[in-house]
Amino acid sequence: MSEKKIDQPALQKLFEKACMLDIRSLKPGNVNTNSPSKNLNYLDFLKSIEACSDIITQPNILLEDRIFESIKSTINIVGTNTNLGIILLCAPIIQAYYSRGKTNISENIHKEILSLDHNSTKKIYEGINLSMAGNMGSVESFDLKGNDFQNFYIVMKYASSYDLIAWEYSNKFEIIFNDLTNKFSNFSNKYRSHEDACSALYIYFLSKYPDTLISRKYGLDKAKDIQKIFYDLFMEVESIQDMYQIKEKLIQTDKVLKNDDINPGTAADFVVATVFSNMLIK
């Protein structure tokens, strides 16, 4: 019996729900409904969801077009990069689901990524350049603003030593599917709301992985300093039964990080992709 897939409107709703949970969750350093950053507030992220949710979940389009058009629509409507990482992580998941189903989705994502040729890579580069993502312009032999449009898997393999999204592209999305989805399920069972589960997942992620965005802006040592802060927070998460018990500490950490203009943006991208994957494959 063939697997029954959900249709595009339902898939779009799942994507929007994952993004909305992220905005409503208290994640120190990130924008949420009660805490803006210096330059953005939650309305910018609502606009971002509206800008790309229909496009990113369309059936019968190529992966490179799914990425490019989602970025283009976001920039046209919001005017700045608010969701590049979310698009880069969620687009291959959606592509694999439409083309191959949710069984063995990690392997299927890998097949989709391996199929990205020279022209596909060029289109994705164009989208990334549209987003004007900080410090992504050039890294030694691969220049996003040049013409070195190699196979996208090769580019991601090269970048995987310093970029967690590149690591996912070159390693079958193993952080999401071999680590984070199980953690999110456990947190969802432990805590009283999905928002609390998102907060716990975010803290867990940052306790284990140095955030790529912080590393790009301030260096790996700073990212590791932030990792230590979140490791201590996660030790508390492990010991409590209600996230409300550390709410004030999370709020104070949020204030400190935002005052220093430190945004663990990659962690938020992984939270959205994990929550979306969890809803899609369960």
| Domain co-membership, 24 together with 103 | yes
| Structural domain contains residue 189 | yes
Please provide the average confidence, as pLDDT, over all residues in the chain. Answer: 91
| Domain co-membership, 220 together with 258 | yes
Confidence (pLDDT) at 152:
93
Measured N-to-C along each axis, helices 181-190 and 194-208 cross at an angle, to the nearest 10 degrees, of: 140
| Domain co-membership, 163 together with 72 | yes
Confidence (pLDDT) at 137:
43
Please determine, for residue 162, whether its predicted confidence score (pLDDT) is greater than 50.
Answer: yes
| Domain co-membership, 228 together with 117 | no
Q: What is the mean pLDDT of residues 7-13?
A: 96
Least confident window among 91-105, 191-205, 252-266? 91-105
> 113, 141, 176: which is the final residue of a domain?
176
| Structural domain contains residue 26 | yes
| Structural domain contains residue 270 | no
| Domain co-membership, 162 together with 223 | no
Task: Label residue 170 exposed, middle or buried (CB < 10 Å: 0-12, 13-18, 19+).
Answer: buried
| Domain co-membership, 59 together with 167 | yes
DSSP, res 262: -
| Structural domain contains residue 271 | no
Q: Out of 85-89, 137-141, 150-154, give the one with best mean pLDDT.
A: 85-89
Confidence (pLDDT) at 135:
42
| Domain co-membership, 104 together with 219 | no
| Domain co-membership, 114 together with 232 | no
Confidence (pLDDT) at 140:
40
Please determine, for residue 220, whether its predicted confidence score (pLDDT) is greater than 90.
Answer: yes
Letter for the amino acid at 143?
A: D
| Domain co-membership, 90 together with 128 | yes
Please determine, for residue 39, whether its predicted confidence score (pLDDT) is greater than 90.
Answer: no
Please determine, for residue 245, whether its predicted confidence score (pLDDT) is greater than 90.
Answer: yes
Please determine, for residue 139, whether its predicted confidence score (pLDDT) is greater than 60.
Answer: no
| Structural domain contains residue 51 | yes
| Domain co-membership, 247 together with 193 | yes
Q: Is the dihedral of CA 169, 172, 178, 181 positive or negative?
A: positive
Q: What is the mean pLDDT of residues 239-267?
A: 96
The more confidently predicted of residues 265 and 145 is 265
Residues 6+ apart with CB under 8 A from 57: 8, 11, 12, 15, 94
Confidence (pLDDT) at 3:
59
Q: What is the mean pLDDT of residues 28-51?
A: 93
Task: Give the span between the Cα atoms of 257 and 203, in whole angstroms.
Answer: 14
| Structural domain contains residue 281 | no
- Taking residue 37's Cβ as centre, other Cβ atoms within 10 Å add up to 17
Query: How many domains does the structure of the chain reveal?
Result: 2
What pTM, to 2 d.p., does this model score?
Answer: 0.93
Question: Is-contact 181 277, C-beta < 8 A?
Answer: yes
Q: pLDDT tens digits, residue range 48-65?
A: 999 999 999 999 999 999
Give me the domain span that covers residue 72: 8-176
DSSP, res 179: I
Task: Give the span between the Cα atoms of 246 and 240, in whole angstroms.
Answer: 9
Confidence (pLDDT) at 145:
52
Confidence (pLDDT) at 203:
98
| Domain co-membership, 27 together with 68 | yes
Confidence (pLDDT) at 257:
97
> 159, 176, 193: which is the final residue of a domain?
176
> 176, 191, 207: which is the final residue of a domain?
176
Confidence (pLDDT) at 146:
53
SS3 35: strand
Q: What is the mean pLDDT of residues 16-37?
A: 95
| Domain co-membership, 215 together with 198 | yes
| Structural domain contains residue 75 | yes
| Structural domain contains residue 278 | no
Confidence class for position 136, pLDDT limits 50, 70, 90? very low
Taking Cα atoms as reference points, which of 144, 152, 153 lies closest to residue 125?
Answer: 144
Confidence (pLDDT) at 102:
72
